[in-house]
Structure 1
């Protein structure tokens, strides 16, 4: 899979961009603030309908414009499809395939798949659990696009249920039984258990498949390490067998925990049970679990970078198992790495079907990734 053509209209800093892109390695080189990352961000957005840089769509639309358009020709198995997303901040976005409008924009998700390495990847190691949950969910959606709908449903249930908990909790503290509100809460408990169980089952599954890949990737990028030195473990926020994959059993487990914690939830007015409170534990060290240490708070800067790289490399290997190489985006990552890690990463990804690199200067790009180069300056993109 690769992108052969990229067109942008009012996306980020660009009025209009129209580029032909080759398979293999392409580097976008330019000083900071010139717009090179905007180009690869657009391709990543088309993959996931989300940016790896910002949480909302508003910054993606050029100042003064009402909408932005990202259009890409994607080649897969010798066939080309033109994918397009029209971004309307605060409104519903629109999606098209070969000029045909889709009933739901999320039907675009997963048609082009990306794995992005960026300086912000350290947040996977040093940040709060929400970053690691998002990492797993992005992978799940790319592999199983219909899960985007399950995630959206789960978020909707959480918001509705949190509102109801606050209402019922205030009423209870005021002396009212609020029987109707509590009966409604039972209905939302069932919705949370159903969608939460499906999300939890997918997270447990993908974490299990990632574990050996992370170990192998860490051994590759961390000098002197073995594949047993880095481990990941999915950590639910409540007592559940991490080997459990049966949807029905997980629903029952969630319902039981919701019943057990209901008084606490009503007192605090927040949802205390569900995969929105889980974490992915990252550890270093060999031996038993008691001999391993969490990466967060214990690992050096270099070790933390190696774990972050291992997570992304493992993602790449996981997605390519089905024979379809994802597009690799290396966004200003080489300037953050020492020479050893730069070379190890570059050599490992050089044979990917398409690698898109951004760098401030040509020398930041390792020799093995010196392919086609575009110079980015002053809002223009020129093939060197």
Structure 2
């Protein structure tokens, strides 16, 4: 899989932008603040329908515009695919695949990318929310249908919390209707928990391989889930036959049936019912879980050096890319390295580039070309004063934008007369 062309209208700082890319190594060069990251942010957005830099879509829309347009022409599995998104300031976003209107989340079925970004360090050193986001973005990349389940789960948590707050301190007020939301919480939550367990299990071996490739050594990197449902049952002394004394391995956790997991979820909810009513908030479920990261059986957070933390974060992304490569019939995911070479020493730069260079397409951004390993045949694109131009080319004005397809509408034109479900 590779991106052949990206076309933007009113996206971030670009009124219009046309970016040609090729298979292999692509390098986007330019001073900081010129829009390099905005280009790869737009590409990565097609894979997960959210930005790694913001929690909402509004900042993606250029100031003063009502919507942003992003079009991407792909070459995947021997065919050309045109993906289009209209990100609206108000109302639902819109999407098309090969000119056919679809739900926005259908776009993720056609495109897969793994982005390495400076913010990845917060996966290791930051709060649990960053690690949950890594897990959920990985689920969507692996199983695009997960986007719908995650959205449904978030909706149920919001509505269940609203009910709990409305009857805070009074069990009678909420008991009559809480069971309905419990059923949905368990249904969607169990699916997410099981998918996360399978993901963590399957990332184990490629994580170890990726870490060795980066540091040229084996420090025993490992991932383990900390689940609020399981922890609650342990605290309350509730024993189930599927859980042996002590911690289960990732393989054992992933082998638990959804029915058994759903029953455990219900048991845990019963155990915290009065506490939830008193506090007015949902205390159990995937939204309260964490991913534990260890090196040589010690927590990465608090024990690992800066270099080890970076290597662990990058290894997690490499493991995900390897997993997607093995499973996807559409080919390799697109690899995006957004200004990460500036964060690494020369040895790690070379080893990281060597590890990802086997993928069909790699897109790198850098402010300083000296930070980029020189051993590869780079397709260079330069950013200057917010304009995209081939490296070294002089320009006296804004170039006439080219469309990825002769029939493309103008950058600000609506994709469809009908709203598409996001």
Contact 2:170 2:278 in 1 (8 A): no
Partners in 2 of 1:309 and 1:370 — Cα distance?
23
1:234 aligns with 2:225: yes
Aligned residues: 369
Deviation of the 1:244 alpha carbon: 4.1
Structure-1 residue corresponding to 2:12: 12
1:109 aligns with 2:114: no
1:251 aligns with 2:262: yes
The SS at the match of 1:145 is coil
1:381 aligns with 2:388: yes
Structure-1 residue corresponding to 2:192: 199
Contact 1:204 1:245 in 2 (8 A): no
| RMSD, matched Cα | 1.3
Structure-2 residue corresponding to 1:288: none
Structure-2 residue corresponding to 1:344: 351
Deviation of the 1:115 alpha carbon: 0.4
More divergent stretch after superposition (235-244 vs 72-81)? 235-244
**Runs (4+) of structure 1 moved beyond 4 Å?**
none
The SS at the match of 1:134 is helix
Contact 1:235 1:278 in 2 (8 A): yes
Aligned with 1:356 (options 327, 349, 363): 363
TM-score by length of 2: 0.85
Structure-1 residue corresponding to 2:52: 52
Q: Which has the higher contact order (CA 8 A, sep 6+)?
A: 2
Deviation of the 1:92 alpha carbon: 0.5
Deviation of the 1:70 alpha carbon: 0.4
Residues 38-83 of structure 1: per-residue CA shift (max 9 Å, x gap): 1111110111111111111111011111100000001112200100
Contact 1:48 1:110 in 2 (8 A): no
Contact 2:116 2:337 in 1 (8 A): yes
Task: Please give the residue correspondences for 1:145-294 in structure 2 after superposition, counting only pairs within 5 Å.
Answer: 145-172=144-171, 177-178=172-173, 181-223=174-216, 225-226=217-218, 229-239=220-230, 241=243, 242-285=253-296, 292-294=297-299
Structure-1 residue corresponding to 2:407: none
Contact 1:26 1:356 in 2 (8 A): yes
Partners in 1 of 2:377 and 2:38 — Cα distance?
21
Residues 309-355 of structure 1: per-residue CA shift (max 9 Å, x gap): 11011011010002520000000000000111111001111121110
1:295 aligns with 2:288: no
Partners in 2 of 1:97 and 1:243 — Cα distance?
34
